[in-house]
Structure 1
Amino acid sequence: MKIRFATTDDIKKMHQIYSYYIINTAVLFTDIIPNLKEFDDYINKIKEDYPVLVAEIDNKLVGYTYAKRIYNSKAYDYTVESSIYLDVNHVNKGIGSVLYSKLEEILIIQNVISINAYISINKKDDEFLDNKSKNFHKKQGFEEVSYLENWGYKFNKWYDCIWTRKYINPVCKPPKKFKSIKEVEVLIIF
């Protein structure tokens, strides 16, 4: 498996993976698939400050992860939201753990304080949502900080949501200077 920074050539496959989760799961509550240009613009905006990583097996993209400012304000440089999406044929193979580990390593260098994940959950697994993401994040060291009942409605059913968080750098005052991905990418070894 190879982990690397995402490039423009990856956008189509990343979009395909993302679209699968919109159409077939309650992992995402949205039912609107962005067009390829909208998705490309979204990913490129993230890449201005934070890492977007892909995993490849035999030169085929099988998953991606990224972190972004949790809200659109410089005050949140240190508080990111992470997302991870794997090709449905490549889940439960350790790819997510490797991707998240590399993402965390880079965010530490950027002086990010905490990684947060917004996760759809289900009281009982169904064909649209299991709790693998919740369990995955717990295994990665995330702790649940908020539970939102009946938060999203999709596929004629209410789903709950949790916010999870993992501190990766100490909280200090003032915080160390945030470093954009452009400032640290030369330091990253894959």
Structure 2
Amino acid sequence: MSPSAPMRLAVLVSGSGTNLAALLSAVAQDPDFGGEVVVVASDRPDAGGLQRADDAGIATVVEPLADHPDRAAWETTLRRRIEEHRPDAVVLAGFMRILSGAFLSGWPDRVINTHPSILPAFRGAHAVRDALEHGVRLTGSTVHLVDEEVDHGPIIAQRAVEVREDDDETSLHERIKHVEHELLPACVKLLCQGRLEVAGRHVRVRPT
């Protein structure tokens, strides 16, 4: 990647792809974003995010876990197929599979994830449900760099969302998604512009 070239982004999705849509919109609307989505990959052939990619003319990769003898074989194939598109960074936008250090090593400090809680609280796949069951008054969204532990890597940004008395899992998650749709593209932009400095667990954002 030359200094003037946009950062090439691979986006991994497992669901409807609303975070992908928010990212594509941010890239399209901001000439200074500094990045472009070159491939969208999924572990599920029915993921709605794949159709969003097709509609935008972006290459797609589908690699179901069930098509492989084990997770290692699946991950190796997924990484190889993504690498064919020469991405400089990877964005996990609702991707529901855990990735190993072997996969992450291809993009050190350049794999970003969004998680629907204020980490380190409520890690894992049921963060919104867990927050409601715990009775917290605030939860929210976290965007972080990915390491080998689940929802554990250095935090780039967080934003709180109030838990209302009448919330259920669906209503609370919808409000968190609204925040995610702003926070994730903003953090990916910082990465694309080379403004993130990582020191241990701390991420510093360099000024423009």
TM-score between the two structures when normalised by the length of structure 2: 0.30
